[in-house]
Amino acid sequence: MTTLVSGSPSVSLTCTPPSGSPAPANAFNFYRSTVNGGPYTKLTASPVSTCAYTDSTVVNSTTYYYVATSVNLTTCPTGQVCESGNSNQATAVIPSPLQITTTSLPAGGVSVAYNQTLVATGGTTPYTWAVTAGTLPTGLTLSTAGVISGTPTATGTFNFTVQVTDAASFTATAGLTITVAVVIPSPPTGLTVGTIVASSVPLSWRETPPYTAFRIYRKPIAKTNWTTIATGIKTKSYTDSQKKYKGSYNYEVRAVNNVKGTVYLSSPSNVVTAAIQ
């Protein structure tokens, strides 16, 4: 006898009728137990005519053991029960209910890589995921493995419904939201001055994404106002080779995040001083 778990939930049982002598069976009984090897409880109120039965009284997170017997209703003497011994035992494991345990998702940022894995429990693996309503943020996709990934390209609040399907075709759904905003870049850190040659001042720094470029600022140490001396710097270093008078100068760097033509500027880095001899 074989089993197939299906339904909401249910177990489909099938068996092969006996043949030959003695006279073949023309009806069948099915029995169930929650103990391996029995004792078994009869499921069929009366013998059924086909060697198949669907048990719709199962409970999630339970293991069941089934046997079948054959019954000859045609030639069995009146008052007697002509029933065979038990068939081989078949086992059905009813999984816990399929459910999505991811209840919320972190916000995303424009031009910031996003990666989150949805989580489900119960049912029968493997799972397959899909978006069934609404839309993900522009630039993000959901893989069949349940990974939301990509780089958002637009701001907004995006509501959508995901569905997970298990190996037995059970499904579960959940509504989720991702909010995408523009991320103001973090200020560069660790700004330092290298070896000054003539009036050329080499600068270097560390960065924290997201950013699209850097701006370099300078002022004489005794002054208040900063002057922008370089924009659109893509690297984490810059050499100020502009002509300068002798004296001491302060430098700072800011990160730039350019989103569709709108520039978002970080707060300044630490300030360093360079002395021009």
Over residues 16-63, the pLDDT tens digits come to 888 764 556 789 999 999 999 999 999 999 999 999 999 999 988 899
Q: In 3-state terms, the chain is what percent helix, strand and coil (to 5)?
A: 0, 50, 50
Q: pLDDT band for position 3 (50/70/90)?
A: low
Residues 82 and 131 in one domain: no
Last residue of a domain, one of 181, 207, 234: 181
Residue 79 sits in the same domain as residue 112:
no
Give tens-digit pLDDT for 201-224: 999 999 888 888 999 999 999 999
2 pLDDT higher than 60: no
- Model pTM above 0.85: no
* Residue 125 and residue 51 share a domain: no
Where does a domain end: 51, 66, 94?
A: 94
CATH of the domain at 255: 2.60.40.10
What is residue 189's three-state secondary structure?
A: strand
Do 218 and 248 fall within a single domain? yes
Which amino acid does the sequence have at 14?
T
122 and 147 housed in the same domain: yes
- Taking the C-alpha atoms of residue 153 and residue 258, their distance in angstroms, rounded to an integer, is 12
* Same domain for 108 and 60: no
What pLDDT is stored for residue 183 in this prediction?
85
**For residue 8, what pLDDT is reported?**
57
Q: pLDDT tens, 111-169? A: 889 999 999 999 889 999 999 999 999 999 999 999 999 999 999 999 999 999 999 88
Q: Identify whether residues 229 and 172 lie together within a single domain.
A: no
The residues that bridge with 237 in the sheet, in sequence order, are: 204
- Of the residues 94, 115, 143, the one at which a domain ends: 94
Query: How many structural domains comprise the chain?
Result: 3
What DSSP letter does each residue of 88-126 carry, written as one string?
--EEEEEPPPPEE-------EETTS-EEEE--EESS-SP
| Shared-domain flag, residues 6 and 86 | yes
pLDDT for residue 271 is more than 70: yes
Write out the residue range of the structural domain in which residue 242 sits: 189-276
